[in-house]
Amino acid sequence: MIEIKEIKTNKDKRLFAKFPVTLYKDCPYYVPSLREDDIDVFNPKKNHNLKENKIKGFLCYKDGKLVGRIAGLINKKENEIWNTNFVRFSRFDAIEDIEVFKALLSAVAQFGKENGITDMHGPWGFNDTDREGMLTFGFDKRSTYATNYSYPYYFKFMEELGFEPESKWIEKTFTIPETPYERILSIAEKLKNRLKVVDVAETMSVRKILKLYGAKFFETMNQAYKNLDAYVPIEGKARDNVLKQFATIVNRKYISVLVDQKGEVASFAIVLPSICKPLVKHGGKLFPTGFIGVLNCIANPKELEMGLIGIRDEYKNTGINAIMIARIMKNIVESNIERIESNPMLENNLSIQQQWKFAENEIIKTRQTYKKSIEEFLS
């Protein structure tokens, strides 16, 4: 017997956050999200995305045993900007049972229908810094801190349930050079003088950068990403969630924030230390001891994950990316980093892929989202 239970209590939230760790306990490729983030996603005091948006979480039980979880998100701004009527499904994990999949997705569909929504798609989060997409290739590769892992049966069940493919991403691994790219270093210095930009990451602490340029950073990010699939601007207090997610694991060596003479953030690039190993070791829990491993990985990383890169419209096609890449790659080589992996890049976003074309790379994973009419799915 399959039963769906809506998340209401703190115990439910803890079960919701812990379930994927149990599901993937024997999988060497799964990397848990921070457990407290999955708990706090339902808390309006901590998840500022809930100021304008709605969320409802569900647990699935089969014969009394917890076998799956899912969250339904209604992002008001997404539907306004893109002229759509979607409910997003997110944080979707389940055992290999198509009936369990159907029951969980039906719960989200019903949640959407009750709120006047006509279509569903996912996995999407509240915005582009959240985990999104379902793995379709690369099941034998470890996830990154920012991505979902899913077993091969996930996408097969989605197809069997009649969901259509939607947005598609690729993920790459990059070959690290033995010495810095001298040509790029030379070009970078000339461009810095010609464009009259200063890399504040060379002299300022991360905390000071955020204080002085945090708001402008998001302005540049929203402008750079505005045309990407289902992109929703990150504004207001929702920015706090992003800063909590990423700013706390930034190492200043591997970021670049270029500021022009007007005080605007002309461009930025963020490469993150990988904290996968301590997250796996401690099941996504930072306390009481998990944070020690995380801090060590941030201070002395061996692996890096490409996070975000964005350029203001007026600086596109100026070569400004060479300035950012030169600084970051110089530090990567000097720090003896062993591995660099990208996070998802939209398959049709050729401009973002071109930013990293200078380095030898290989596609190691693909992922995508799925969509379906609610009326069709529930019929």
Residue 144: inside a domain: yes
d(CA 342, CA 329): 14
pLDDT value at position 350?
A: 77
Shared-domain flag, residues 53 and 138: yes
Residues 54 and 73 in one domain: yes
Residue owning tokens 């369990």: 100
> Are residues 242 and 337 located together in one domain of the fold?
yes
Same domain? 119 vs 219: no
pLDDT of res. 302:
95
Q: What are 178's two structure tokens?
A: 């033995």
* Structure confidence by residue, pLDDT tens digits, 7-57: 999 999 999 999 999 999 999 999 999 899 999 999 999 999 999 999 999
Q: What are phi and psi of 263, to 5 degrees?
A: 85, 10
pLDDT of residue 320: 94
Q: Is 44 inside any structural domain?
A: yes
Block residue for tokens 């009259």: 196
Number of domains in the chain: 2
Instruction: Show the domain range for 11.
Output: 2-168+369-378
Q: Does one domain contain both 221 and 289?
A: yes
List of long-range contacts for 291-297, beta carbons under 8 Å, 24+ apart: 294/249, 297/273
Tell whether 174 is covered by a domain. Answer: no
Burial of 69 (0-12, 13-18, 19+ CB in 10 A): buried
- CA atoms within 13 Å, Cβ hemisphere of 284: 23
- Shared domain for 186 and 74, answered yes or no, is no
Looking at residue 375, its pLDDT comes to: 98
Regarding whether 239 and 154 lie in a shared domain, the answer is no
Q: What angle do CA 339, 342, 347 make, to 5 degrees?
A: 150
Q: Are residues 70 and 10 in the same domain?
A: yes
CATH number at residue 69: 3.40.630.30
Question: Which residues neighbour 376 within 8 Å (Cβ) at sequence distance 6 or greater?
Answer: 162
Q: Which two tokens mark 357? A: 């074309």
Stated length of the chain: 379
Separation of alpha carbons 206 and 222, rounded Å: 20
Burial of 149 (0-12, 13-18, 19+ CB in 10 A): buried
Contacts of 337 (CB under 8 A, 6+ apart): 176, 301, 302, 303, 304
- Low pLDDT (below 50) residues in the chain: none
- pLDDT for position 360: 83
163 and 218 assigned to the same domain: no
For 117-150, the pLDDT digits (tens) are 999 999 999 998 899 999 999 999 999 999 999 9
Is residue 173 in some structural domain? no
